[in-house]
Amino acid sequence: MENTVSNQLATLGHPQRLSVFRMLMRRIPDRVAAGDLADALDIKPSTLSNYLNALQRSGLVVQERSGTSLLYSVELKNVQQMLGFLLNDCCRGRPDICMPQEQGKDKMTDRKFNVLFICVGNSARSIFAESLLRDIAGDRFNVYSAGTQPYSELNPFALQVLKDKGHDTDLLRSKNVAEFSGPEAPELDFVFTVCNKAANEECPAWDGQPISGHWGMEDPVKAEGTDAEKSLAFQNAYGALKRRIQAFTSLPVESLDRIALQSAVDDIGRENFEDAK
Which residues are tagged catalytic? 119, 195, 203
Prior bond of 29 cis (ω within 30°): yes
Strand partners, 107: 257
Distances (CA, A) of 46 to 23, 33, 49, 150, 260: 18, 14, 5, 33, 39
Nearest to 238 by CA among 275, 265, 213: 275
The dihedral over CA atoms of 258, 259, 260, 265, expressed in degrees to the nearest 10, equals 80
CA 10 to chain centre: 27
DSSP-assigned letter for residue 195? S
Contact status, residue 226 vs residue 260, Cβ threshold 8 Å: no
